[in-house]
Structure 1
């Protein structure tokens, strides 16, 4: 595996998943991921069904390199079934006549077999640039070693946001999302980036109605409007997945509300 350049090492690596029923193509894609600075392989699957099960079980990836012509579940069918938030999809196929389908599904890239590393690398560079452009600017480090300032009264807490302590009314927080060593607090009106991990909030947040439902999400149960296919519907069109490992505890707590 190639070593990271100084520029690439400063960026969070992009996690990748490969799904292709052709073993040689699957190995080639995994090899390309392995030799590319800033990419890590999270999973490799020989069919669409096992790949879908990975994401439905709470697995995550930034990029999905996906063959189209697979038995039982084609790549195009898989894209339509991916739970949200879905990875960016790069379709991999021997045929060029799927370009229209790719456009309609808003896929991020389109590679034609036989694969070559130059085209693979160009696609990754383009998606990395787009991915980094969409990431919010990180908040500065907290002087107390990275812990949120969880103090206040009633339903409001003071959190270290940017360079000041900001009073956040947790009655207005829909859910919290993990962002590396940060967390994003999502309300109906805005998002706050806090220098604290989701684990910190899980351990120290003094509100019982905030429940961990995924390795990347905590949700305010008071805002859940419905549960559909292990996805929580929240006001404003927000949707939060419930990972398989959290389902038993979550539904037990939900029944007790």
Structure 2
């Protein structure tokens, strides 16, 4: 497993491969290449999907294709619901067309090289950095009717809650409901650096975060929410980077 120090802007990933030596090879690369950290490895796609459903999304999924039971191609649509980037890692070039149809974000050939893997990580981080340069501070939420959209200022959003295939967006004065997945909303808001996901069903605004006590966050509207286990590491890293004295300590 990854032994690198945790950084707030590191990509969080999982690996899926039915060959133990392939898992070990990729684990070693992840431990060596900066900017990415490993959450967990799996020998089949079903176990990975179950884990993600229980513990929440990751930034990247590295998956083999030719696996017994549920192949990487067959699992693509399900896996993409739990990540921003699905990358195939395979020894076969014959699946390239299938990968294009599945709209995956990368296709790495075995045996993996440090250079190819590092380039893939750099490309993902560069894409995320590009989105972070956006300076608009609003989103549009689709309404109940066709061509009906509601503009919402990001700074007014207090928290967002998942509700089946819908999300509820709560501002200081209104509540909006739109047909979407929470992961899609999270990706759309990621450029603002104003929001952080604290559980499978809740995203909070850092502007409206009043206090953190243990594993509970308190918002300035009086509400509080528990922080899910998979999300505590990222919140802790954010707090460590932003608490009073952290800048002085870095300089020291």
Corresponding position: 1:203 with 2:223? no
Q: In the alignment, what sits opposite 1:250? A: none
Residues 8-157 of structure 1 mapped to structure 2, 5 A cutoff:
12-82=9-79, 84-135=81-132
Contact 1:92/1:112 (CA < 8 Å) preserved in 2? yes
Contact 2:87/2:106 (CA < 8 Å) preserved in 1? yes
Contact 1:89/1:107 (CA < 8 Å) preserved in 2? yes
State the 1:123 CA deviation: 1.1
Q: In terms of mean alpha carbon deviation, does 17-26 or 51-60 score higher?
A: 51-60
Structure 1 residue runs without a partner (length 5+): 140-158, 162-166, 186-191, 218-257
Structure 2 residue runs without a partner (length 5+): 137-153, 157-170, 198-203, 232-252
Q: In the alignment, what sits opposite 2:168? A: none
CA distance in 2, matches of 1:15, 1:137: 23
Name the SS of the counterpart of 2:21 in structure 1.
helix
Corresponding position: 1:169 with 2:173? yes
CA deviation string 1:85-112 (max 9, x = no partner): 5331110111111111111111110011
State the 1:206 CA deviation: 4.6
Which one has the largest radius of gyration? 1
CA distance in 1, matches of 2:106, 2:210: 32
Name the SS of the counterpart of 2:195 in structure 1.
strand
Q: In the alignment, what sits opposite 2:194? A: 182
CA distance in 1, matches of 2:126, 2:82: 19
TM-score, scaled relative to structure 1: 0.56
TM-score, scaled relative to structure 2: 0.57
CA distance in 2, matches of 1:35, 1:104: 31
CA distance in 1, matches of 2:172, 2:54: 32
State the 1:202 CA deviation: 5.8
